[in-house]
Amino acid sequence: MSGKSSMFDSFLLALETHENLLHAETQAIAAKHLDTIDSILSQKEESLEIVLSEKGKLETDPRLFAKADELIDRVIELQKRNAELFKKLVDVQSEKNDGNEDGQFKPVDKRLKKAYSTNNFNYNSRINIK
């Protein structure tokens, strides 16, 4: 039983680490710190791979356990919120660019769009275990 418990604990730890990265991402988006956003996106991809690997080791659906179910829901909500915040940030930057005489995107817009467009993970389908 302790082997199953330690695998479940490893899954929860990986999920909590991923949640912490999402909180850091929220702060980076709010601060409009593009280098940090880029760095966190890379870390999130690695973190998600670990979460999925740990989930794969489980013999039971983690959603059957209240603690894991709640944590999974929080992670999904954080990802949705961050995606919305990022979209707003891009929209604000795009509006500022509409006033540009040459009609070109500013470098910050290109970096913002690239940061999220290169992240191909669908968090809803990969973490939402039902």
User: What tens digit of pLDDT does each residue of 47-93 get?
Assistant: 999 999 999 999 999 999 999 999 999 999 999 999 999 888 888 87
pTM listed for this prediction: 0.74
pLDDT for the residue 125: 47
Q: Residue 1 above 50 pLDDT?
A: no
Q: Per the structure block, which two tokens stand in for 13? A: 């730890």
CA–CA separation, 48 and 46 (whole Å): 5
pLDDT for the residue 89: 85
Among residues 63, 46, 86, which one has the least CA distance to residue 12? 63
Q: Per the structure block, which two tokens stand in for 99? A: 């006033």
User: What tens digit of pLDDT does each residue of 22-54 get?
Assistant: 999 999 999 988 889 889 989 999 999 999 999
